[in-house]
């Protein structure tokens, strides 16, 4: 990997997608993927996780976009039964789908800074969707019904990316992340595929709209006393020194 590849300050360059190849990750990519993920995400993962997502163990769809021999983007997704998802994520599908229905979780989607806004992430996501739509299965009911992910609520680039690519907001996740010791809010976004669909009736939509607003308000009200306390501590410190 060239040293300027990881710099945050590189000039954006338009990459010709015709020169971008797609290939699955292999164990020899561990170090590169780790360097990229540390640059792309504010969360650190253990080495065993990097080994897991790059090993050909049939658990993940781990695809790399490669330009001039260098990895410039990665998507990693895992298809699993609804029953093995977190409780709040099990509601992404209508209750008419049994708990053994399959859904796909995006663990990683990232593109090197200097290659962004050239369609690389779109290429990776489209490849994932294409694969899931045509996945060889014995019975079509085994096909993944939804692709979903969690995103920090202030990651506007990713939110814009997913919204423009047919993903819809499923839920607001207050204090879902812990980033360097600080609790941060997140969202769950979903794209339905292979006839999968949301559980919402008209009433559910109103309920979720209200719950989302209430959660936002609760978030603001919870932070207010902390802000006031911090302000008072600052004033008290100034008075004491
Ligand atoms: C989100 C991310 C994967 C997008 O990759 P990308 O290769 O730039 O995406 P594409 O070129 O395929 O699509 C670009 C679209 O994404 C959205 N987008 C990307 N960067 C954006 C930004 N800085 N501000 C607003 N929208 C942005 C826009 O909808 C844009 O479309 P446009 O160029 O027509 O306006 C990339 O910004 C990234 O790697 N971010 C850091 C890692 C991350 O946050 N991943 C998502 C975690 S859930």
**Structure tokens belonging to residue 149:** 């992910």
How many angstroms separate the alpha carbon of residue 122 from the centre of ligand 1?
A: 9
**Does 40 contact ligand 1 (Cβ within 6 A)?**
yes
For residue 7, pLDDT over 50 is answered with no
Contact 71, 32 (CB under 8 A): yes
pLDDT digits (tens, 9 = 90+) for 207-237: 667 777 887 788 778 777 777 877 777 777 6
Q: Which residues contact 63 (CB under 8 A, 6 or more apart)?
A: 22, 23, 24, 25, 74, 75, 76, 124, 127, 128
**Structure tokens belonging to residue 109:** 């989607």
Span 181-210, mean pLDDT? 85
pLDDT of residue 204: 60
Q: Mapping DSSP to helix (H, G, I), strand (E, B) and coil, where does residue 163 land?
A: helix
pLDDT digits (tens, 9 = 90+) for 18-64: 999 999 999 999 999 999 999 999 999 999 999 999 999 999 999 99
pLDDT of residue 219: 77
Q: Which of 75, 157, 179, 189 to mutate to test the pocket of ligand 1 (most atoms within 8 A of CB)?
A: 157
pLDDT of residue 3: 35
For residue 82, pLDDT over 50 is answered with yes
């Amino acid at each position: 990997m060239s040293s300027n590849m990881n710099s945050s300050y590189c000039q954006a360059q338009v990459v010709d997608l015709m020169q971008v190849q797609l290939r699955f990750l292999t164990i020899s990519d561990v170090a590169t993927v780790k360097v990229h993920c540390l640059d792309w995400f504010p969360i650190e993962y253990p080495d065993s996780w990097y080994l897991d997502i790059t090993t050909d163990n049939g658990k993940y769809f781990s695809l790399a976009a490669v330009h001039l021999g260098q990895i410039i983007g990665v998507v990693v997704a895992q298809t699993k039964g609804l029953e093995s998802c977190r409780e709040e994520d099990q509601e992404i599908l209508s209750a008419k789908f049994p708990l053994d229905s399959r859904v796909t979780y995006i663990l990683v989607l990232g593109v090197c800074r200097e290659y962004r806004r050239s369609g690389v992430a779109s290429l990776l996501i489209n490849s994932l969707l294409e694969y899931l739509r045509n996945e060889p299965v014995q019975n079509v009911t085994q096909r993944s019904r939804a692709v979903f992910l969690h995103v920090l609520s202030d990651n506007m680039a990713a939110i814009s990316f997913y919204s423009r690519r047919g993903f819809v907001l499923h839920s607001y996740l207050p204090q879902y992340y812990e980033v360097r010791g600080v609790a941060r809010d997140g969202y769950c976004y979903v794209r339905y595929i292979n006839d999968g669909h949301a559980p919402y009736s008209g009433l559910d939509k109103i309920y979720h709209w209200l719950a989302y607003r209430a959660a936002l308000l609760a978030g603001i009200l919870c932070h207010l006393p902390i802000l006031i306390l911090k302000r008072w501590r600052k004033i008290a410190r100034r008075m004491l020194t």
